[in-house]
């Protein structure tokens, strides 16, 4: 393989690895559940890119099904979590059922 | 003899430089994918709130993935491979906006964004409208009055408001 190509492949690998580390840091420090969800989404996307990059480097298509499944199912975790994200309840605005304060 | 000669000619002057160029282009596309991915990571680190980070996170999901998929196709160089790879992009293009929409919705409703950065907030009036109905006391059993025209108009408007959520 050409030297330039090899150098470029190492650069691409380093970029992807840096991405994974930075996103892991964002998952750890948060601060909100949505930040963690977005960061873990990016980690999953990076994983797809890594699987694809490995295929491109070694010229095979054996792990394409893995990419298809990741592309199709990555949505479920994000949607499930963000569906149940709620505002942190403060003491001043205690939860009130509709019309509860009017009943005896 | 002629076959060997021909294959030698094709092998040395025809195919190999093209192979090298395609490998180089493939490597460049991999670097592009990695760069977009890193851009998302830097955005995740530096942007202030969840909705801004959501914007950064979408870069590698579509363009980065397309770059990597084209790199695979250039590296493998067969139509079958391209046919296998198209579903990856199609599925990602279909599902990425849905998850982004859900995260954005949750981000808006939990208030994890900076309102000063908004130029227009078209959802807030609708949300207020819909919220007002939810806290209205339910009619007492047996004491129900017939809905007036005003009530019907309001309920229609509230339905539209709720549909916009």
List pLDDT tens digits, range B4-58.
444 444 444 445 778 888 888 888 899 999 999 999 999 989 888 888 888 888 8
* Same-domain status, B42 and B109: yes
Look up the pTM and report it: 0.72
The beta-carbon contacts of B74-83 under 8 Å, at least 24 apart in sequence, are: B74/A56, B74/B22, B74/B25, B74/B26, B74/B29, B75/A55, B75/A56, B75/A57, B75/A59, B75/B22, B75/B23, B75/B26, B76/A55, B76/A56, B76/A59, B76/A60, B76/A61, B77/B22, B80/A61, B81/A61, B81/A64
Q: Cα dihedral angle (A90, A95, A100, A104), rounded to 10 degrees?
A: -60
* Same-domain status, B24 and B76: yes
* Same-domain status, B90 and B153: no
Q: Which residues contact A40 (CB under 8 A, 6 or more apart)?
A: A23, A27, A77
> A36: which chain B residues are within 8 Å (Cβ-Cβ)?
none
* Same-domain status, B127 and B105: no
Q: Which residue has the higher pLDDT, B119 or B99?
A: B99
* Same-domain status, B79 and B159: no
Report how far residue A98's alpha carbon sits from residue B137's, in angstroms, rounded to the nearest whole number. Answer: 6
SS3 B28: helix
* Same-domain status, B104 and B157: no
pLDDT class for B139, splitting at 50, 70, 90? low
pLDDT at B150 over 50: yes
A92: closest CA of chain B, how far (Å): 16
Q: Which residue has the higher pLDDT, A59 or B159?
A: A59
* Same-domain status, B90 and B53: yes
Give the model confidence (pLDDT) of A44-89 as tens digits.
999 999 999 999 888 888 899 999 999 888 888 888 888 887 766 5
What's the mean per-residue pLDDT of chain B? 76
pLDDT recorded at residue B4: 43
Asked if the C-beta of B34 comes within 8 angstroms of chain A's C-beta atoms, the answer is yes
* Same-domain status, B133 and B101: no
pLDDT at B63 over 70: yes
* Same-domain status, B86 and B13: yes
* Same-domain status, B91 and B19: yes
Q: Which domain holds residue B132?
A: 123-138+146-163
**Percent share of chain B, pLDDT over 90:** 21
* Same-domain status, B35 and B72: yes
pLDDT recorded at residue B19: 80
* Same-domain status, B7 and B87: yes
pLDDT recorded at residue B133: 56
The answer, yes or no, to whether the previous bond of B128 is cis (omega within 30 of 0) is no
Interface of B with A in 85-124 (CB under 8 A): 85, 87-89, 91-92, 95-96, 98-99, 102-103, 105-107, 109-112
Give the model confidence (pLDDT) of A12-54 as tens digits.
899 999 999 999 999 998 788 888 888 999 999 999 999 999 9
Distance between start and end Cα atoms, chain B: 75
pLDDT recorded at residue B7: 44
Counting the structural domains of chain B, the total is 2
């Amino acid at each position: 393989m050409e030297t330039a190509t090899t150098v470029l492949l190492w650069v691409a690998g380093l970029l992807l690895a840096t991405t994974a580390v930075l996103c892991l840091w964002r998952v750890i420090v948060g601060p909100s559940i949505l930040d963690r969800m977005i960061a873990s989404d990016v980690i999953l996307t990076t994983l797809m890119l890594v699987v694809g990059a490995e295929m491109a480097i070694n010229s095979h298509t054996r792990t394409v099904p893995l990419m298809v499944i990741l592309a199709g199912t990555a949505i479920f975790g994000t949607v499930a979590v963000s569906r149940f994200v709620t505002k942190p309840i403060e003491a001043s605005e205690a939860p009130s059922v509709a019309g509860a304060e009017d009943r005896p | 003899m002629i076959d060997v000669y021909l294959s030698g000619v094709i092998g040395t002057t025809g195919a190999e430089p093209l192979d090298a160029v395609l490998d180089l282009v493939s490597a460049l596309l991999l670097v592009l994918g990695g760069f977009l991915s890193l851009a998302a990571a830097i955005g995740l680190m530096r942007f202030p709130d969840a909705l801004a980070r959501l914007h950064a996170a979408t870069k590698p999901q579509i363009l980065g993935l397309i770059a990597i998929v084209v790199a695979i196709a250039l590296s493998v160089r067969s139509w079958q491979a391209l046919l296998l790879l198209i579903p990856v992009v199609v599925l990602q293009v279909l599902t990425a906006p849905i998850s982004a929409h859900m995260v954005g919705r949750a981000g808006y409703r939990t208030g994890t964004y900076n309102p000063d950065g908004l130029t227009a907030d078209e959802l807030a009036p609708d949300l207020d409208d819909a919220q007002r109905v939810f806290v209205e006391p339910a009619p007492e059993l047996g004491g129900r009055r017939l809905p007036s025209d005003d009530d019907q108009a309001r309920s229609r408007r509230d339905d539209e408001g709720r549909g916009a959520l």
